[in-house]
Amino acid sequence: MTIKAIIFDAYGTLFDVHTVVDKCEQFFPGKGRKISEIWRQKQLEYTWLRSLMGRYEDFWSVTHDALIFALKELKVDLNEQIHMTLLDQYLRLNPYPEVPNALEKLKNRKLAILSNGSTDMLNTVVENAGLSHVFTHVISVDELKIYKPFMGVYQLGVAKLWVNKEETLFITSNPWDASGAKTFGFQVCWINRFNKQFDELGVQPNMILKNLDQLVDRL
Amino acid sequence: MTIKAIIFDAYGTLFDVHTVVDKCEQFFPGKGRKISEIWRQKQLEYTWLRSLMGRYEDFWSVTHDALIFALKELKVDLNEQIHMTLLDQYLRLNPYPEVPNALEKLKNRKLAILSNGSTDMLNTVVENAGLSHVFTHVISVDELKIYKPFMGVYQLGVAKLWVNKEETLFITSNPWDASGAKTFGFQVCWINRFNKQFDELGVQPNMILKNLDQLVDRL
């Protein structure tokens, strides 16, 4: 398998979306994990639903709405300042521990991010993690106004990087994203950090690894 | 508000999808509710994801796959006979208790079902519940090969019933479905049986009721 470019999903793959748990716990002791889980679940659902309904709003807005839902669902007090502080965490997500070093070792190839995040969100989180220099492209679905796993989104990656999809490795921790990327025609690596169950969507990834260190060893 | 036709969602609105809990409990004591919840969640996710990926499979197939996921996720033994017995429950879902009488009282208007279910599944569950005679139309998304909340699905309802969307009341227990139907332009009633939280998708239903008895009182 010749791999000329590697395209990474951002949230949940490079960046730990549950970084927000700690901050949630500070504000709502004992409910932090639950808030964080509902927040993430609804964030994803709203991207899919808005795409199908033809009512695109950018990822910052969807993330905002999903947090509102999570707080209402758990009947915790809505306070604009807490709300903004939590949302702000999305700009400061920690990369998973092995990510910075692994990216350094992979950067003899074209490296890119292709993400649901809005352009501003992505640039900020990448910059805050000190990773701007390793990526040739940081690509947001915002250009198309529709979310993954719509096929056009993966096509956007190919168009921007000027590579063949068959020679592109797509890396994601999200089973539904891996299924979309595989359907599109990428080589796909599913990063399964937490021993999760892959989705039953009729396709399988080309490889399954625990983290990016294993990827460095394989390439 | 003039209402000339009423279109109902099926699963979760007229029929209790957690009817399957009892059967799940028989096979997997203590895990029935959890299996049923994951099964339903994945069933919905897979309809949205397959629609976005352009990989439509009918609702029977998606329901099958979602059950496979739920059983794997909870690490319970896969056995083809148990699997088919559980799946078969989808053809025998109980209507919620007030549904049959309420429909009788509403049927001076055009009544229809518009559902993600495949045509066979819908006809069977409606027939098993003894409700075939109250509906002028039982409409499946299968004709379009894409799921709710894609706008074309709601348009299909209008096309079949030959009514104006503004004079059509759409009834559903699913917040995302209510949001889709409202976006399309139906009058929308959200049936909130279990005191759930409405979704944050930027639209609100025209009315919120506990069950169909309340609807009879209102119309």
* CA pair distance A82, A60, nearest whole angstrom: 16
3-state secondary structure of B26: helix
Question: Does B42 sit within 8 Å of A45, measured CB to CB?
Answer: no
Answer CATH for B5-15+93-218 from 3.40.50.1000, 3.30.360.10, 3.40.250.10, 3.40.1030.10: 3.40.50.1000
Q: Which of A51, A52, A150 to mutate to test the interface with B (most CBs of B within 10 A)?
A: A52
**Mean residue pLDDT across chain B:** 94
Looking at residue B1, its pLDDT comes to 64
Residue A1 pLDDT more than 70? no
Could you tell me how many CB contacts below 8 A there are between chain A and chain B?
95
Question: Does B147 sit within 8 Å of A53, measured CB to CB?
Answer: no
Question: Does B147 sit within 8 Å of A55, measured CB to CB?
Answer: no
Looking at residue A24, its pLDDT comes to 86
What is the model's pTM?
0.96
Question: Does A55 sit within 8 Å of B200, measured CB to CB?
Answer: no
Q: Where do runs of H (alpha helix) occur along B54-135?
A: 59-73, 80-88, 99-106, 119-128
A75 touches chain B (CB under 8 A): no
Summarised one tens digit per residue, pLDDT across range A116-168 is 999 999 999 999 999 999 999 999 999 999 999 999 999 999 999 999 999 99
3-state secondary structure of B149: coil
Tokens of residue A96, six digits: 């998973």
B55 touches chain A (CB under 8 A): yes
Mean pLDDT within B50-72: 96
A199 touches chain B (CB under 8 A): yes
Mean pLDDT within B50-79: 94
* CA pair distance A121, A15, nearest whole angstrom: 12
Axis-axis angle for helices A59-73, A119-128 (nearest 10): 80
Contacts of B159-165 with C-beta under 8 Å, sequence gap 24+, read B160/B112, B161/B5, B161/B7, B161/B110, B161/B112, B161/B136, B161/B137, B163/B4, B163/B5, B163/B110, B164/B4
Domain layout of chain B by residue ranges: 5-15+93-218, 17-91
3-state secondary structure of B191: strand
ipTM: 0.96
3-state secondary structure of B56: coil
Question: Does B42 sit within 8 Å of A200, measured CB to CB?
Answer: yes
Residue A29 CB neighbours (<10 A): 8
* CA pair distance B158, B139, nearest whole angstrom: 11
Q: Which of B34, B42, B43, B52 to mutate to test the interface with A (most CBs of A within 10 A)?
A: B52
Residues from chain B that touch A78, judged by Cβ atoms under 8 A, are none
What does R_g of chain B's alpha carbons equal in angstroms? 17
* CA pair distance A164, A139, nearest whole angstrom: 17
Task: Give the architecture-level CATH label for domain A17-91.
Answer: Orthogonal Bundle (1.10)
Going across the sheet that includes B137-140, the strands are B137-140, B110-115, B5-8, B168-172, B187-191, B207-209
> Cβ distance B120 to B42 under 8 Å?
no
Residue B33 CB neighbours (<10 A): 12
Smallest CA–CA distance from B69 into chain A, residue: A200
Band the pLDDT of B19: cuts 50, 70, 90. Answer: confident
Residue B185 pLDDT more than 90? yes
A69 touches chain B (CB under 8 A): yes
